Structure 1
Amino acid sequence: MKLFGLQITRAKNADIIDTSEKLASALGGWSMSTSGVEINARNAMQIGTVFMCVRVLAESIGMLPLRLYEEVGGSKNLVSGVRLANLLRNGPNDFMTAQEWKECVVTHLCLRGNHYSYVNKVRGEPRELLPLNPDAVKPIINDDWTIEYEVTFPNKIKRTLSQNEILHIRLFSVDGVNGLGPIQWCRNGLGLAKATEDHGSRLFKNGAHPGGGFQTDQTLKDEQYNRLKDQLDTFNSEGAHKPLILEGGLKWHQISLSAEDAQFLETRKFQRAEICGMFRVPPHMIADLERATFSNIEHQSLDFVQSALMPFMTRIEHRLAKSLLKPTSNQYFKFNANALLRGDIKSRGEFYTKLQQAGALSPNEIRELEDMNPRDGGDVYLTPLNMAHDGKPIKEGSNNAQE
C-alpha cells in the first residue's frame, strides 16, 4: 500500500526458532512456568478452578439467544426464515447445535485467545461454520495488509485461506491479529496452582499423615526390622487407622509440619481467587461461598454479565457482522442477555410496571420478554395524565391518554 506517496510494505520474519518462547509457540503455545510445571491449554483444564471458570463462561454465553436483526427507518426488526439467521439459531453445521458452537468459541478464547471457524460458502452465501483447532491455524499478514491463514485440516491437508474464508474471533491483541491467550500469559500463576494441587494429591495419596521417624536406644534385629517394614507397608496400603505394634523400644516422633502450618490451604485459596480474577468470574459461581452473602450475590451476578460476558458477546457480534455480512448491510447480530439481567420475580415485576406506566413498554412487549404469547389489546401504550406533550399539558379526556 502507499502512504503519502511512499510504498509501505511489511517486513517478513523468517521462521527461525532461536528462543525457548518461539519453540513453545511452535509446539502449540505451551511453556514452562517459574514453578517448574509445564502449562498448556490441555493440562490447565486439569486445574479445577480453571475448568469451572471456563465452563461457567462458555455455558453462560452458549445458552443466550443470538439473533439477526435488520434496521429499517429507525425500527429494529428480527430477521427470520433466511439461511443466515437459521445458521446461528438452529446450528452452524450438521454436527453441532448453536449452543455447542458458541460454547466452543468461548472455550477457545478462554484457553488460547483465538477462535477460528471455516466459513463454507455456496455461491457467496455462508452455509456452514466449521470450527478449527486454534493450534492448526497460523495467521499471516501480507505486504498489502491483508490476512491469510495457513490451516492444517484434520485430514492433514494444508491450505492457505483468505480472510473471507475464515471467521477469526480474538481476544484483545497487541498486534491486531493474534489474541492474547490467558493460559500462556498467566502461566506462572497457573503453574503455582498446578504445583500446589499436585502437592495436595501426593499428600493424600500417602494417607495425609505427617512424616516422622522411629527412635530406639536398642539395636533392631533383622527379624524385628522386617516385621516393622511389613506392618508399615500394610498400614500405607490397606491398614490405615489401625495401631502399629512397636517392639525393641521403638518410639514415634513427628518431624514435619502439617499442611495448615505450611500455609498450604491459604496458598490454594489465593490461587483460586487469582484464577477467578483472570477470567472475571465471581467466586460464588464456582461454588466458593466463603465471602458470599445474600446481599452481594445478586450484585456480583449482574457485574459478571456486564464485566465478563458483555466483552465476549460484543466481540462475537462484531466479528460475525464483519465476516458474514456485507459492508453496506443494515443487518446486525445481537445477543439477548435480558434473561441474565432481569433479576428475580419481584424486581422484574417492579421494573416492568415502571416501564409500562411510563409508556415505554406495552403489555405484549412485556409478555414477549417473559416468553409469553401476546394477548388481544396488548399493544396499547399508556400515557400518564400528569405528563406534558409538546410543551402543553394533556387535557383530561384527550385521545393522547390511552388506557
Structure 2
Amino acid sequence: MLVQSFKQLATGRSGDWKGAHYDFMPWANNVFGYKNNSLQTNEEIFSVVTRLANTVSSLPIHLYQNYDEVNNGLSNLLNGESNPSMTSFSLINQLETSRNTDGNGYAFIERDNTGTPIRLWPIEPSTVVVKRNLDDNSIWYEVNSSEWHFMVYNTEMIHVRHITPLDGVVGISPIDVLKGPLDFQKAVEDFSLSEMNKKDAYIIQYDRSVSDEKRRAMIEDFRRMIKENGGAVVQEKGFTFDRFESRFQPGDLKTTESITRSRIANAFNVPLAFLNENTGTSTGTLSEQLMIQFVKMTLVPIVKQYEAEFNRKLLTQSQRARGMYFKFNVNGLLRGDTAARTNFYQMMIRNGIASPNDLRKLEDLPPVKDDTANQLWITGDLYPIDLAIQDRNSREPSPESEKAESEKGGDTNDKETEQLAEVFNRHGKHLNT
C-alpha cells in the first residue's frame, strides 16, 4: 500500500496516545502545553509574535502579471476573503502566529472541479504529520483532528516555517529554542516574588536574667508595635532587635530580564529595541535605521517564503510562465516621515522613475484621470519624457539656440511685436510698426 511507503518525519507525543488497536498520536498537541502557555504568560514573546503577525498580515499583497495588477477570484483569496468565515488578514495572521510559536503554519487549499483554488483553511499545526514517500521522495501531509481527516500531496497545503534542518521539512520552534532561558527567567521571578512576599523577620536578643513571662510579654508587645506602628518599636533595657535582611536584590531580576530579552530578540531575529530594551540609540536613528534593519533582515525573508508558497501552490505552471506572481509590498515601511517621503517622491518624478499616479498609489490616493499623470517626466524643468528636445522651452536659452535665432535675423522683440499684432488684429485694431 502507498501508506506503507511513507516515512513519518514529525510525530506527536507518545504514551497513552498510542495502543495496540488505536493511534491518536497526531492528536497529541500543545494546545494546553508549553508553547501555548509561553505565549499567554510571557509578555516579551507575546509582544514579538504579535508584532510579526500583525506586520506581515498588514502588508498589501497583490497578484501581478508582467507588472500589471490582476484582480480576480484567485487574488481575492489573499487580499479579500480566504474562506466564508475568515478574511485574508486573519488567515495570514494565524499562519504567522503558528509559524512563530509551533515553528510551522499550515493552510489547506480547497479547489473546485477544475483545480482552481477557491478557499484557504488554516490548520492547527499539532494535527499535521508530515510524511515522505520512500518510493519517489515526495512530501505528503496527513491531517487528523476533530474536523479534518485526510492526506494530501504537498502542493495542496500552504506550509510556512521557521528555519529547517537539511534532513527535514518541519520548522524549528523558536519557543523550543528559548525553553532554557524562559525556564531560568521564571525560576528567578518565582524566587524574587517569594522573597518579596516574605514578612519582615527580626532577631531578638535578651539577657538571661529576663524571666520567661517577661520575655513572652515583650515578644507579644514587639509584634503589636510592628503591626500598628509601621515597623517602629521601642527598645527596652535587656532586649536588642536586629532585622533579618532579605536576599532579594531587584538588580538581579533586572539583569535576568535584560538577558532574556536579548535571547528572545536573537531567536525571533528582531531588533532588541522592539522589546523596549534601551540600547542607547537616539530617537531619530531608532525610527529609521531600526526599521530598515527589521525590513531587510527579518521581514523580507519571511514574505519571500510566503510568496514562494503562494506562487508555487496557488498558480499553475502555465500561469507562472505567462508572468503571473504574488508579491507583498514592503516599500511602504521604508518611506519614513513626511519630509523624507516628499524628497523621495520628488527624486522619483524628476528622474523619470515613477509617474504621479504611481506615487499616489503608495499614499493610498485615487489616481488622477488626466493622461499626463501616467506619464514619466524628467527635469528641464519637467516635461513628458517622450517630448522631443526641440519642443521643450528652456528657461535659459543655450548659446547654440541664441546663435540660431540671430542667424534668422530676428530677436525677442520681433517675436513679441508679432504676438501683440495678432492680439490687436483679433480686436479689429492695427498695430503701427
- Report the TM-score when normalising by structure 1: 0.77
SS at structure 2 position matched to 1:118: strand
- Name 1:100's counterpart in structure 2: 90
Aligned length: 360
Question: 1:213 is matched with which residue: 191, 199, 202?
Answer: 202
User: Would you say the 8 A contact 2:155–2:312 is kept in 1?
Assistant: no
**What residue number does 1:6 align with?**
none
Q: List gaps (5 residues or longer) in structure 1.
A: 1-8, 31-37, 387-393
Secondary structure of 2:86's counterpart equals coil
Q: Distance in 1 between matches of 2:296 and 2:375?
A: 32
The percentage of aligned residue pairs carrying the same residue is: 25
Quickly say closer, same or farther: Cα 1:12–1:61, change in 2 above 3 A: closer
Q: CA deviation at 1:14?
A: 11
8 Å CA contact 2:8–2:131 kept in 1: the answer is: no
How far does residue 368 in structure 1 lie from its aligned partner after superposition? Answer: 1.6
In structure 2, list runs of 5 or more residues that go unmatched. Answer: 16-24, 382-386, 395-433
What is the match of residue 325 of structure 1? 315
Task: Return the offset for 1:95.
Answer: 2.2
User: Aligned equivalents of 2:308 and 2:201: distance in 1?
Assistant: 61
Per-residue CA deviation, residues 237-284 of structure 1 (Å, 9 max, x unaligned), is xx8x933657883613233334146x2211211211221222122233
Q: In the alignment, is residue 153 of structure 1 matched against residue 145 of structure 2?
A: yes
The whole-number CA distance in structure 1 between the counterparts of 2:12 and 2:302 is: 34
What is the CA-CA distance between 1:197 and the residue it aligns to?
A: 3.4
Following superposition of structure 1 onto structure 2, how do residues 252-291 of structure 1 map, counting pairs within 5 Å? 252-260=242-250, 263-289=252-278, 291=280
**8 Å CA contact 1:138, 1:150 repeated in 2:** yes
Aligned residue in 2 for 1:90? 80
Letter in 2 for 1:166: M
The reply to whether residue 242 of structure 1 matches residue 230 of structure 2 is yes
Q: Deviations over 1:155-204 (max 9, x none)?
A: 4x633233233221122211341111111123212222333333344444
Distance 1:353 1:16, change over 3 A: closer
2: CA distance, partners of 1:117 / 1:290: 38
Say which of 295, 306, 309 aligns to 2:296: 306
Which one of the candidate residues 60, 63, 70 is aligned to 1:68? Answer: 63
Contact kept? 2:310, 2:326, Cα under 8 Å? yes
The higher-RCO structure (CA 8 Å, 6+ apart) is 1
Contact 1:118 1:132 in 2 (8 A): yes
Deviates more, 1:109-118 or 1:191-200: 191-200
The verdict on how the C-alpha distance between 1:65 and 1:154 changes in structure 2, with shifts beyond 3 A counting, is farther
Matching residue's letter, 1:268: E
Q: Which residue of 1 aligns with 2:415?
A: none
Partner secondary structure for residue 62 of structure 1:
helix
Q: Distance between the aligned counterparts of 2:95 and 2:154, measured in 1?
A: 18
Maintained 8 Å contact 1:139/1:147: yes
Q: Distance in 2 between matches of 1:53 and 1:16?
A: 26
Hey, what's the Cα distance between the residues in 2 that align with 1:349 and 1:13? Answer: 52
Q: What residue in structure 2 maps to residue 129 of structure 1?
A: 120
Change (3 A) 1:13 1:370: closer
**Pair 228,158 (structure 1): closer, same or farther in 2 beyond 3 Å:** farther
SS at match of 2:378: coil
Change (3 A) 1:55 1:231: farther
TM-score (norm: length of structure 2): 0.72
> Contact 2:103 / 2:171 at 8 angstroms: preserved in 1?
yes
The aligned counterpart of 2:429 is: none
Question: Structure 2 vs 1, CA of residues 162 and 303 (structure 1 numbering), >3 Å: closer, same or farther?
Answer: same
Deviation at 1:339, TM superposition (A): 1.7
**C-alpha separation between the residues in 2 aligned to 1:16 and 1:358?**
58
Correspondence 1:57 to 2:45: no
Give the letter aligned to residue 255 of structure 2.
E
Q: Partner residue of 1:370?
A: 363
User: Which string of whole-angstrom CA distances, capped at 9 and with x for unpartnered residues, describes residues 9-41 of structure 1?
Assistant: 98778989899xxxx9995479xxxxxxx9434
SS of alignment partner, residue 284 of structure 2: helix
* 2: CA distance, partners of 1:16 / 1:333: 34
1 CA distance for matches of 2:26 and 2:221?
54
Query: 1:221 Cα shift?
Result: 5.5
The two structures, once aligned, show a CA RMSD in angstroms of 3.6
Equivalent of residue 334 in structure 1, options 305, 324, 327: 327
- Contact 2:106–2:158 (8 Å) recurs in 1: yes
Moved more, 182-191 or 213-222: 213-222
Residue 159 of structure 2 is aligned with which of 164, 168, 179? Answer: 168
- Cα deviation for residue 48 of structure 1 reads 1.5
The one-letter code matched in structure 2 to 1:125 is T
1:390: which partner in 2?
none
Separation in structure 1 between the aligned mates of residue 258 and residue 6 of structure 2, nearest angstrom: 47
Whether the 8 Å contact between 1:115 and 1:169 is mirrored in structure 2 is yes
Correspondence 1:43 to 2:38: yes
Q: Which one of 341, 347, 352 corresponds to residue 340 of structure 2?
A: 347
Q: Say if 1:296 and 1:68 are closer, same or farther in 2 by CA, change over 3 A.
A: same
